[in-house]
Amino acid sequence: MMWRDQLVQTSCGDIMSALAAQRPLFHSEADFQHAFAWEVQHCMPNAEVRLEYPWRQSDKSWYIDLWIRAPSDNIAVELKYKPQELAVTVNGESYGLKHHSAEDLARYDFVRDIRRLEKLVAAHDNTVGWGCFSQTIASTGTPLLQGIPSIRTSASARVES
């Protein structure tokens, strides 16, 4: 099945690598989510991609950042983007990023997202979950990246209970 082959051949890391080659920075988490969704659609043209997809389990409900649907498989995606303070122009585009403090809380929120992804994946056949926490880190003196932050990414994680 073509979609299953696409799913096996495409990973969250593949999407992030393709995205990083085009956009080393994002203005906000929403900008990151939109760009990620756009890249998914480019890499998986037969998939249906939805942002802020509602999901309910028993008496609880929440929104998945990104839901990728095909006839036989699904991918639920949670994305976090926490930049450091930075004012820079990259490829003619100006960025004025504000520092998001309380990294420990941001990481806790991400772990909570991963737990929700695991519940969703357990409840749906043929569904996988991707979690990506992206954070800008200002580069220091690297000639190729001078003045442009790198993106440190945790492409996948699993929380064991």
> What does the domain layout of the chain look like in residue ranges?
2-154
* Burial grade of 119 (CB within 10 A; 0-12, 13-18, 19 or more): middle
d(C-alpha 78, C-alpha 104), whole Å: 17
133 pLDDT higher than 90:
no
pLDDT of 3 reads: 46
148 pLDDT higher than 50:
no
pLDDT of 16 reads: 84
pLDDT of 103 reads: 61
The class that CATH gives domain 2-154 is alpha beta
The model's pTM is: 0.74
d(C-alpha 149, C-alpha 24), whole Å: 7
Average pLDDT over all residues of the chain: 75
pLDDT of 149 reads: 42
* Highest-pLDDT range among 41-45, 47-51, 134-138: 47-51
- Find the range with the poorest average confidence among 33-37, 89-93, 125-129: 89-93
Which of 149, 157, 158 is closest to 133 using CA atoms? Answer: 157
Which of 4, 36, 2 is closest to 127 using CA atoms? Answer: 4
Q: What is the mean pLDDT of residues 131-137?
A: 73
What is the band of 58 on the pLDDT scale with cuts at 50, 70, 90?
confident
Q: What is the mean pLDDT of residues 39-58?
A: 88
